[in-house]
């Protein structure tokens, strides 16, 4: 971990998110292929990358959601189709919470399946967040699962059998939230202490559960926006 830089002291949550995002984008070099996350913190990173591209940075990117793709295209960032990309250099994305072992819960924005695929492509993965996202122990948020609509009742039963109370995510009008793949989201609430690796393994094994928001190995560095500046933490491997 490095000390926060007092030169960019920040106060509001959005300023902290933006500072973390700008620090991560500063790692991007000419010629890189970059993964762009989803959410309000990732939005700041895409904005900063768009500005760097306007100044002449030569990069290409893959987006983790339609929302991010729309923003990136509007800023003139060249996007590749993820289906044609197997490896990227760097991925920058937000988290909902992250513990001291760099294990995170993601997916409040519903993009965790594509986010995990893009993280899997990346040689280096930087999580960006304001300091409210750093927790001592995971479990403040439910773990979101992207589920094939056809499998809703079955997956709900299988989740119950492994101790999760699965709640269908609804939008403001009471309709199921659909992912970019037109799947539903079940938010999995846990009671009592959780073995996160065991839970991830169980979820990975349920047919019809396409992906989930437990990112236990997919983060290499955390750039945390704090009131004192950006704190950079590297995962010990
Ligand atoms: C979307 C995500 C987001 O990265 C996560 O929800 C954090 O979002 P925000 O930066 O808006 O707090 O996982 O699927």
Query: d(Cα 105, Cα 219) in Å, to the nearest integer?
Result: 11
Question: pLDDT, tens digit, for every residue of 140-185?
Answer: 999 999 999 999 999 999 999 999 999 999 999 999 999 999 999 9
The answer on 170 and 79 residing in a single domain is: no
The answer on 129 and 39 residing in a single domain is: yes
Query: d(Cα 196, Cα 188) in Å, to the nearest integer?
Result: 13
Question: Probe ligand 1: pick from 17, 107, 109, max atoms within 8 Å of CB?
Answer: 109
The predicted pLDDT at position 171 comes to 98
Domain containing 50 equals: 2-136+216-234
Residues of the chain with pLDDT under 70: 1-10
Catalytic residue among 15, 97, 101, 115: 115
Question: Would you call 115 a catalytic residue per the annotation?
Answer: yes
Q: Say how many Å lie between the CA of residue 106 and the centre of ligand 1.
A: 6
Query: Which residues have a Cβ under 8 Å from the Cβ of 51 and sit 6 or more positions away?
Result: 75
Query: Cα–chain-centroid distance for residue 52?
Result: 22
**Closest protein CA for atom 2 of ligand 1:** 107
What is the CATH classification number for the domain harbouring 172? 3.30.70.260
Question: Probe ligand 1: pick from 16, 21, 65, 94, max atoms within 8 Å of CB?
Answer: 94
The answer on 113 and 227 residing in a single domain is: yes
The predicted pLDDT at position 110 comes to 98
Query: Which residues have a Cβ under 8 Å from the Cβ of 29 and sit 6 or more positions away?
Result: none
Query: d(Cα 124, Cα 88) in Å, to the nearest integer?
Result: 8
């Amino acid at each position: 971990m490095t000390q926060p830089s007092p030169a960019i002291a920040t106060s509001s949550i959005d300023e902290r998110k933006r500072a973390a995002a700008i620090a991560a984008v500063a790692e991007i070099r000419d010629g890189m292929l970059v993964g762009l996350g989803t959410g309000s913190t990732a939005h700041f990173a895409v904005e900063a990358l768009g500005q760097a591209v306007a100044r002449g940075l030569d990069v290409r990117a893959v987006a983790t959601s339609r929302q991010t793709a729309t923003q990136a295209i509007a800023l003139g960032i060249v996007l590749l189709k993820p289906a044609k990309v197997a490896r990227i250099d760097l991925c920058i994305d937000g988290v909902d919470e992250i513990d001291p072992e760099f294990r995170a819960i993601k997916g409040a924005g519903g993009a965790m399946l594509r986010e995990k695929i893009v993280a899997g492509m990346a040689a280096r993965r930087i999580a960006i967040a304001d300091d409210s996202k750093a927790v001592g122990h995971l479990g403040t948020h439910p773990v979101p699962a992207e589920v094939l609509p056809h499998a809703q009742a079955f997956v709900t039963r299988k989740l119950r059998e492994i101790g999760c109370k699965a709640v269908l995510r609804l939008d403001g009008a009471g309709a199921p939230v659909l992912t970019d793949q037109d799947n539903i989201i079940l938010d999995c609430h846990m009671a009592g202490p959780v073995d996160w690796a065991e839970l991830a393994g169980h979820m990975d094994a349920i047919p019809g559960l396409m992906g989930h928001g437990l990112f236990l190995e997919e983060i290499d560095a955390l750039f945390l926006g704090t009131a004192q500046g950006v704190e950079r933490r590297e995962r010990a491997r």
